[in-house]
């Protein structure tokens, strides 16, 4: 069974194998997705700012974990350098 549907983005009529299909093509689906995201951001302009305020420790913890990993990388490199120097 096929369905005759109208794409809400380009208004073209297309044939779909599922009645739940919405858009005629991947391109129109992408456009719809972008529009939805843009509308969402417009409706929630301070979402990220408010999220940060509600989760004040998140970035601090992230930075702390990053510095720790960075330090471990440096130590590993220094160990390798020391090892190389010993072999000279």
Binding site for Zn ion (CB under 5 A): 7, 9-10, 24, 28
Residue 32's φ and ψ, nearest 5 degrees, are: -60, -40
Q: Least CB distance from residue 26 to Zn ion, whole Å?
A: 10
Nearer to Zn ion, 13 or 46 (CB): 13
Nearer to Zn ion, 9 or 21 (CB): 9
Nearer to Zn ion, 2 or 70 (CB): 2
Q: Least CB distance from residue 16 to Zn ion, whole Å?
A: 11
Q: Least CB distance from residue 36 to Zn ion, whole Å?
A: 15
Burial of 23 (0-12, 13-18, 19+ CB in 10 A): buried
């Amino acid at each position: 069974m096929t369905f005759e549907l109208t794409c809400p983005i380009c208004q073209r009529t297309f044939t779909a194998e599922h009645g739940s299909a919405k858009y005629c093509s991947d391109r129109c689906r992408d456009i719809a997705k972008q529009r939805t995201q843009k509308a969402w951001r417009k409706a929630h302009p301070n979402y990220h700012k408010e999220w940060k305020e509600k989760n004040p420790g998140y970035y601090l913890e992230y930075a702390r974990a990053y510095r720790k990993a960075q330090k471990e990388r440096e130590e590993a490199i220094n160990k390798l350098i020391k090892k190389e120097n010993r072999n000279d």
